[in-house]
Chain A
Amino acid sequence: MSLRVSVSPWPVEVTAWTFTNIFNASNVLSMNTGDWLKGALIASAGAAVVAALWWGAASTAGQAPAFKAPRTADGKPDLNGVWQAVNTANYDIQAHPARPALAIRPAPARSGAPGLGRATPADLPAVPVIALGAAGGVPAGHGVVEGDEIPYQPWAAARKKENVDNWLTRDPEITCHMPGVPRATYMPYPFQVLQGTDKILIAYEFAGATRTIHMDAAGSSPSDTWMGWSRGRWEDDTLVVDVTNFNDQTWFDRAGNFHSEALHVVERYTPASPYHLMYEVTIEDPKVFTRPWKMSMPLYRRFETDAQVLEYKCVEFVEELMYGHLGIRDPGTGQLNK
C-alpha cells in the first residue's frame, strides 16, 4: 500500500477559503504572533495574486489569466466547489438577438389598415407559449462559439433549422432527458465538482445527472450514453476531460444545435481565480460537422455559504406533458379522457 501525504509549503495553501479569511479581522486577531506573521505573508501574497489577476484580465482579454490554483491534499489543482455558467448559451450557443419566445410562429401576412402592418412584430410566440409573456422571452447574447460559426455539413444545417421550427417537440430539455456534454455545463443550474483521488464526480442539478471522470483511465463504456464516458488528466493546472461514447439524442442548446453518436468532446477546466474557472470545449463529429470547433466561457464559483446542488427531479414535472393524454383519467381535473 502506498500512501501519498503532502505537507505543502504554505504558499500553495492560498485557497478561496484563505482569500475570504485573510480579510476577516476577527480571524486575524485570534491568531498568535507566528500565525499572524504567516497570515500577513499570505495576505500580501494573496494581494499580489489578486493584483496580477486584475492586470492579467485587463491585458489579455478573453484568455485565462495566469493563476496558480490551490492544491488538494494530494497535490492536485483543487477544483472542488459549486460552479455555474452565467450566460445565454443554453438559449443559443451562437450570437442571437432578443426574441419573444423560443417557439415562434410565422408573422401574419401584412394586410389590413395602413399602419397596422408596420406595428406588427416580425415574430410572434407560438400559441402554446403565448401565456408566458415576457417570462418566456429569449435574452440576447454574444454567443460562446469561437468565430461564431458552427461548421455544419449541408444536410446537418438543414436539420438544425428544422429543429428550430420544431423546438417544442424535439428539445430533450423539455422532456427532462439527461442534457449531455457540454450542454450540462452551461444550463442555468449549478453543478458541483467533487474531487476525489482517482475519480472526479460532476454532479449536475438538472435531471440529477452525474458524470464520473476517471482519472485512473479505468474501464470503458459498454454502450452509448447520454452523458458520455469521461477520462480525465491534468495538464499543469488544467483538468482535461476526453468524452466519448455518446448517443445522438442530446442537443447543445435550445436552438436546435445537435450532433451524432460520433461526437467526441474535449473539455478543459482551468482555474483562473479563486472564484472562476475558464471552460473551453472542442467539439468533433465527422458525421455532422466539416471540422472541429470550439466554445469557451468562464464558470463562476457559487460561494454563498449555503451554495448547494439541490434536487431537480424533473421527471415528475413532465409526466403530464408526456403521458397525460394516455391515461384513463386526467389527474388534474379528474375527468375521463376520451
Chain B
Amino acid sequence: MNRRYVVSLGVLATAIVILALALAPGAAQAPTAAKTAAPTAWTPSRTPWGDPDLQGVYRYEAAIPLERPANLADTPFLTDEEVARRDQAEQEQEAKRLAGGEGVDVGRQPLSESPIRGNEYNSFWQDHGRPRQIHNRTSLIVDPPDGKLPYTPDARKAEARSAARYGIGPYESFLDPDTGERCLTDGVTALMWQGPNGGHNRIMQSPGYVTILHEEYRDRRIIPVDGRAHGSIRQWFGDAVGRWEGSTLVVDTVNFLDKTHYEWANVWTRPSETLHLVERFTRVDADTIEYEITIEDPTTFARPWKAAIPITRLPDGTQIYEYACHEGNYAMPNLLSGARAQAQAGEEGR
C-alpha cells in the first residue's frame, strides 16, 4: 500500500500541474497538425492512476504509402504545390468513386506507383467517411532513407511469388488464401496503419495495461506495462511488454509465430520467428499519435527499418463494432468449391 500511496500523491501533483497548464492562457489550443515527423513536446493528460492518457479510437487517415513510390524516389517530402496537386487528385478520385467508378476508372495505380495509400484496391471496400489527411511525406518509411523495405534477396523473391499468386491462386485448400481471407488476422504490424477499411483501433488503458482493440478481425493486444519480462510462448501477435518513457509508450514484442500471411494488396505484414518489433506511441497533440515502428528481422530484412505513422484520434463517441468475419465467411467455401469446379471442368475438357 505504501507504493500505491506514493503513486496517489504523484497523481495529485501531476493533476495540479496539468490543471495549471490548462488554466494558462493559450494552453488549450492544440498545435496545428504537424507536417513533419518529429514528435513535439505535448503533455497528455493522465489517467486516474497516473499513466499518460493515450485513450481514444484512432485510425490511420494520412494518405502516405508505406514505401516511397518509384516516381518519387528522390523526393522524401513534397512541396506545398505537390501536396495540393495530390489533394486534388485524391478529391477527383473520390468523386469518381462516389459516381460508382472502380479500379483504373478512378485512377487506380499499382501499389509500387501509387502516391496515395488506399487507391490500389477495389474501392467499394474503402470507407471514405472522412476526408483523408494529405501529408507532405512520400513514404511512412523514414529509414532507410530511400523509403524502401530493405528485403534480403530471398525474402524479396518470396514476396514477389506470393504477390503474384494473390487473387489468382491456385486455391487447392483452405491454406492457400491469405490469413485475412481466412478471417485470422491482418497481422500485428498492420493494425495501426490499416487505413480506411475497418482500421479503427480503440486504445484502452487500465492499471498496468494498455489494450489495443482493432476492429478488423477483432484483433486484440493486451500489453502489460507493469515491468514484467517477456514470456516464452510464441503467439501470432508475439509477446508484448510495454513501458513508459516520459509520455511515450514503448512496446517491445518478440516471440512471434511465423504464420501471418496477409497479401490484401498490401505491404509487408509478415512476421517471422526472428522478428523484434519496437513501437513508440507519442501523443503529439490532442488528435494525433505519432506511431513509430522499428523492425528488425534478419530472416526477412538485410537491415532494421523504421516507419513513422501519424494516427488520428476520431471524435468522441466513435465506437468499435463487432467484426464477425469467420462467423460469416461464405467466401471461403465459395472460393474452394469454385476452384474445385474449375479443376473438374478442366479435366473434363481434356
Chain A residues, CB < 8 A from B237: 311
Contact B19 A73 (CB under 8 A): no
Contact B324 A226 (CB under 8 A): yes
Among residues of B, the one whose C-beta sits closest to the C-beta of A200 is B206
Contact B231 A331 (CB under 8 A): no
Chain A residues, CB < 8 A from B50: 73
Contact B173 A316 (CB under 8 A): no
Among residues of B, the one whose C-beta sits closest to the C-beta of A309 is B222
| Contact of B218 with A by CB under 8 A | yes
Among residues of B, the one whose C-beta sits closest to the C-beta of A219 is B319
**Considering the complex, which residues of chain A in the window 161-204 have a beta carbon less than 8 Å from any beta carbon of chain B?**
176-178, 192, 194-197, 199, 201, 203
Contact A203 B211 (CB under 8 A): yes
For chain A, the bracket of interface size reads: 35 or more
Chain B residues, CB < 8 A from A316: 182, 184, 259
Contact B9 A35 (CB under 8 A): no
Given A13-B5, A331-B175, A315:B204 Cβ within 8 A? no
Given A31-B2, A72-B49, A319-B174, A199:B336 Cβ within 8 A? no
Give the complex CA separation of A31 and B1 in angstroms.
11
Contact B11 A5 (CB under 8 A): yes
Contact B11 A73 (CB under 8 A): yes
| Contact of A66 with B by CB under 8 A | no
Contact B218 A196 (CB under 8 A): no
| Contact of B139 with A by CB under 8 A | no
Among residues of A, the one whose C-beta sits closest to the C-beta of B344 is A328
Contact B327 A3 (CB under 8 A): no
Q: Which of B18, B174, B184 is most buried by chain A, counting CB atoms within 10 A of its CB?
A: B174
Chain A residues, CB < 8 A from B9: 7
Given A195-B206, A203-B220, A311:B235 Cβ within 8 A? yes
Given A3-B18, A316-B182, A212:B220 Cβ within 8 A? no
| Contact of A24 with B by CB under 8 A | no
| Neighbour of B340 across the interface among A73, A201, A328, CB < 8 A | A328
Residues of B with Cβ closer than 8 Å to A? 1-2, 4-5, 8-9, 11-12, 15, 18-19, 22, 45-50, 55, 170-175, 182-185, 202, 204-209, 211, 213, 218-220, 222, 231, 233, 235-237, 259, 317, 319-322, 324, 326-327, 332-333, 336-337, 339-340, 343
